[in-house]
Amino acid sequence: MTFGVAVIGMGWMGRVHTQAYARVRHHYPDLPAPELIAVADDVPGRAASAARQFGFARSTLDWRELLDDPRIEAVSVTAPNFLHREIGAAVAASGRHLWIEKPVGLSAADARAITGPGQVTVGFNYRHAPAVARARALLADGAIGTVTHARFSFLSDYAASPDDALTWRFERERGGSGVLGDLGSHAVDLIRHLLGEIVSTSAASAILIPQRRRPLGVTSGHERGTGELGAVENEDWVGALLRLGSGARVSLEASRVATGSPNAYGFQIHGTAGALSWDFRRMGELRAGAATIPAGPFSVGPGDGEFGAFQPGAAIPMSYDDLKVVEASLFLRSIADGTPHGPTLADAIRAAEVLEAIADSASTGRNRFVVSN
């Protein structure tokens, strides 16, 4: 059985979603086979070139044209954040299934505006790392006792150079928040996934590089700016102290200007009977210190999360792109079963509510409760 898919926004994530569609049946042969029907990108030539490279049947500059194509049953939205609401809402209202990148719009209201009868899967991919799945299982088994406090840091250097271009990511209107929505959203999702709901926060944020040069012409991701100087409108760094529903205390730090620390994402979780820690850069290892688990790092393997769909033996490294193949499988399985698997729109809405509380606390200096509307 085949299943028609389209991709809107052919930058980094557009390519990663497309490659995940192409690979998903290699790892999950029981799922329907995605058929690449159409790709849209508003930069002239980008969608046409992707169609040639990946084998989409058609390409267009205008994503709205895809909504008239009856062959398309599911759509990936991998365009910049400011377009998530308009495109996501139109795709969902058309009855199609939606795989949409985080943070799902610029605000919780944007995420809430997406409604329809289809399934929605959100790009919170760090959940899918087998070591994270193992950590979740160990926590559920009480292997480290009751969690008392934890640290989640999502540090990167993608904007550490003042020469990095002032792209949509640095503008309020098109990016929304800065590193908070970009990397902080992943951290909030992982905290909720592993430790439960976040109820309140005290936070601080900073713009550490206040001006950058605009890109000349269109950009294809992160590149140097050579145009005129413009203001950075959203935060480069954020730190938040969170209180969870369980009573545990968690510190969250996210930075896009952490020089020398590319993609340094991870956590340390402390409980009454031990600790667990994970670093994305050594994705297949979990570190433990508890009476019931061997001390030090151990490698995950078949039986931990989705590892077995990729490799036959422990300690064979998986990749970032593999996490997106897992996510594609959860999306297709949700559609096949009519039951959500993986990160849902409700997760994106709740994450956005937490991000709004963090942003509000950072700007007012007050402790904030996370409010649902």
Q: Which of 18, 37, 66, 80 binds ligand NAD (CB under 6 A)?
A: 80
Report in angstroms how near the CB of residue 10 gets to ligand NAD at its nearest: 5
Judged by CB under 6 A, does residue 18 bind ligand NAD? no
Judged by CB under 6 A, does residue 134 bind ligand NAD? no
> Please, which of residues 237-276 interact with ligand NAD by CB under 6 A?
none
Q: Which of 10, 187, 309, 330 binds ligand NAD (CB under 6 A)?
A: 10
Judged by CB under 6 A, does residue 63 bind ligand NAD? yes
Look up tokens 């979740």; give the residue. Answer: 136
Closer Cβ to ligand NAD, 42 or 233, answer by number: 42
> Please, which of residues 167-186 interact with ligand NAD by CB under 6 A?
182
Judged by CB under 6 A, does residue 78 bind ligand NAD? yes
Instruction: Classify residue 20 by its DSSP letter.
Output: H
Chain centroid to Cα 178, Å, comes to 14
Chain centroid to Cα 51, Å, comes to 25
Look up tokens 């605009």; give the residue. Answer: 214
Q: How many residues bind ligand NAD (CB under 6 A)?
A: 24
Contact 176, 103 (CB under 8 A): yes
Q: Which of 23, 25, 42, 202 binds ligand NAD (CB under 6 A)?
A: 42
Distance CA 117, CA 300 (A): 37
Judged by CB under 6 A, does residue 9 bind ligand NAD? yes
Closest residue by Cα to residue 174 from 63, 80, 77, 40? 80
First to last CA, the chain: 40
Contact 246, 37 (CB under 8 A): no
Closer Cβ to ligand NAD, 115 or 220, answer by number: 220
Judged by CB under 6 A, does residue 7 bind ligand NAD? no
Look up tokens 């980094």; give the residue. Answer: 12
Distance CA 167, CA 367 (A): 32
Report in angstroms how near the CB of residue 365 gets to ligand NAD at its nearest: 28
β-strand pairing of 147-155 with 120-122 = unpaired
Residue closest to ligand NAD, measured at CB? 11
Judged by CB under 6 A, does residue 81 bind ligand NAD? yes
Report in angstroms how near the CB of residue 253 gets to ligand NAD at its nearest: 18
Judged by CB under 6 A, does residue 342 bind ligand NAD? no
> Please, which of residues 196-235 interact with ligand NAD by CB under 6 A?
221
Judged by CB under 6 A, does residue 125 bind ligand NAD? yes
Stretch that binds ligand NAD, among 8-16, 68-76, 198-206, 239-247 (CB under 6 A): 8-16
Q: Which of 22, 25, 35, 43 binds ligand NAD (CB under 6 A)?
A: 43
Judged by CB under 6 A, does residue 46 bind ligand NAD? yes
Hey, what are 119's tokens? Answer: 């399934």
Stretch that binds ligand NAD, among 20-28, 35-43, 137-145, 299-307 (CB under 6 A): 35-43
Stretch that binds ligand NAD, among 78-86, 223-231, 268-276, 297-305 (CB under 6 A): 78-86
Chain centroid to Cα 24, Å, comes to 18
Report in angstroms how near the CB of residue 278 gets to ligand NAD at its nearest: 16
Distance CA 223, CA 164 (A): 6
Distance CA 315, CA 130 (A): 11
Q: Which of 38, 39, 40, 191 binds ligand NAD (CB under 6 A)?
A: 40
Look up tokens 């012409």; give the residue. Answer: 217
Contact 318, 284 (CB under 8 A): yes
Q: What is the DSSP string of 25-93?
A: HHH-TTSPEEEEEEEE-SSTTHHHHHHHHH--SEEES-GGGGGG-TT--EEEE-S-GGGHHHHHHHHHH
Contacts with ligand NAD by CB under 6 A lie at: 8-14, 40-43, 46, 63, 78-81, 83, 101-102, 123, 125, 182, 221
